[in-house]
């Protein structure tokens, strides 16, 4: 069994900042995506949801560039090959979803009648998509299905981090703190 006091190497400050900023925004967007219909009579969540999605897209591009420039720290000794492989698969899925989800949302917003603005500060250009077209329909289905997949992946990721930290007593979680 691992020892939380053992030496470990943290991700650099930029990677940690991007990780937590994107994590908070993704969780907020998953919540607003699920709650916007039931709460629509009381509060308009969709403008926030759209602007946050575009922020996630921009930060994800920065994170991918950052990741290409900086090497990931080594895993602590004793982490199984299966755990490392699982972590890499989940990380790849996160990177894909952090790009594809906002792009499918952008497709949907582009077909709508309202401007796609970023927190009321400026408008983003619309993509050439016609409402009720095949691209719109596919984008809508993908956005909804991928949202549920994203939520499941977040739950899996958090559960794995907590398992490594509390049950296995491995310093995986501390690498990102």
pLDDT tens figures, 85-99:
999 999 999 999 999
Q: Is the pLDDT of residue 6 over 60?
A: no
Give the span between the Cα atoms of 29 and 43, in whole angstroms.
15
Q: Is 122 left (phi over 0), alpha (psi -120 to 50) or beta?
A: beta
Give me the phi and psi of 117, to 5 degrees please.
-105, 160
Q: Is the pLDDT of residue 47 over 80?
A: yes
Q: pLDDT digit string (tens) for 127-143?
A: 988 877 888 888 889 99
pTM to 2 decimals? Answer: 0.91
Taking the CA atoms of residue 174, residue 12, residue 149 and residue 49 in that order, the dihedral angle to the nearest 10 degrees is: 110
Structural domain boundaries in the chain: 13-176
Q: Of 140, 160, 156, 150, nearest to 22 (Cα)?
A: 150
Q: pLDDT digit string (tens) for 8-45?
A: 689 999 999 999 999 999 999 999 999 999 998 889 99
CATH number of 13-176: 1.20.950
């Amino acid at each position: 069994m691992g020892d939380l006091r053992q030496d470990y190497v943290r991700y650099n400050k930029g990677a940690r900042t991007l990780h937590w900023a994107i994590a908070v925004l993704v969780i907020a967007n998953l919540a607003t995506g699920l709650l916007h219909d039931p709460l629509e009579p009381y509060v308009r969540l969709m403008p926030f949801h759209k602007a946050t999605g575009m922020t996630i897209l921009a930060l994800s591009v920065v994170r991918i560039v950052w990741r290409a420039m900086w090497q990931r720290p080594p895993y602590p000794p004793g982490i199984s090959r299966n755990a490392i492989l699982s972590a890499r698969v989940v990380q790849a899925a996160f990177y894909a979803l952090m790009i594809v989800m906002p792009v499918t949302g952008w497709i949907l917003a582009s077909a709508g009648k309202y401007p796609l603005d970023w927190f009321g500060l400026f408008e983003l250009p619309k993509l050439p998509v016609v409402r009720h077209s095949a691209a719109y329909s596919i984008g809508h289905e993908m956005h909804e299905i991928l949202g549920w997949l994203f939520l499941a992946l977040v739950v899996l990721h958090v559960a794995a981090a907590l398992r490594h930290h509390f049950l296995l007593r491995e310093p995986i979680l501390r690498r990102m703190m």
